[in-house]
């Protein structure tokens, strides 16, 4: 059983790949095989998922992880520019076992959305930083 998966820096990783991957690791019962037949879900075992700098991912990936990886306690989404502020309110805030979360403001995720998340989930340890980092040599 896989409990940790570190895919940070996989620049070609897509939402479709995350859908297939999360199903294989503990997916949702609504998934179907290539021939259209329903596939039975497996128990979720994934606890740590690192998707840092997987720039092609969107809210769809986070929604899929929320539904499929119900035991996730650590989620790294730092450096993913295509995530919206809605993903914080509609998905991340509902991941009840999540204890560690890394996000960046390089996309549409705002400090206000992160503050709302922290107010709803005071025990959640959130790392929220600028991405790309400020150029200190200028």
pLDDT in tens, 36-72: 545 555 556 899 999 999 999 999 999 999 998 999 9
Q: Write down the pLDDT at residue 137.
A: 46
Q: Are 119 and 89 in contact (CB under 8 A)?
A: no
Q: Whole-model pTM?
A: 0.83
Domains and CATH numbers, the chain: 1-7+44-131 (3.80.10.10)
pLDDT tens for 68-126 read: 899 999 999 999 999 998 999 999 999 999 999 999 876 688 888 899 999 999 999 99
CA angle 101, 31, 54 (to 5 degrees): 35
Residue 16: other Cβ atoms inside 10 A: 12
DSSP 67: H
Q: Are 15 and 57 in contact (CB under 8 A)?
A: yes
Provide the CA 50 distance to its chain's centre, in angstroms.
8
Tell me the torsion sign for CA atoms 113, 115, 120, 123.
positive
């Amino acid at each position: 059983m896989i409990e940790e998966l570190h895919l940070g820096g996989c620049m070609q990783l897509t939402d479709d790949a995350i859908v297939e991957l999360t199903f294989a690791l503990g997916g949702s019962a609504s998934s179907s095989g290539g021939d259209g037949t329903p596939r039975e879900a497996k128990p979720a075992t994934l606890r740590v998922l690192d998707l840092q700098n997987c720039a092609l991912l969107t809210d769809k990936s986070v929604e899929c992880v929320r539904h499929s990886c119900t035991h996730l306690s650590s989620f790294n989404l730092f450096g993913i520019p295509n995530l919206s502020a809605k993903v914080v309110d509609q998905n991340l805030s509902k991941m009840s076992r999540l204890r560690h979360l890394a996000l960046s403001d390089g996309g549409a995720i705002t400090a206000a959305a992160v503050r709302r998340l922290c107010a709803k989930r005071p025990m959640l340890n959130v790392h929220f930083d600028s991405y790309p980092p400020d150029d200190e040599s200028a």
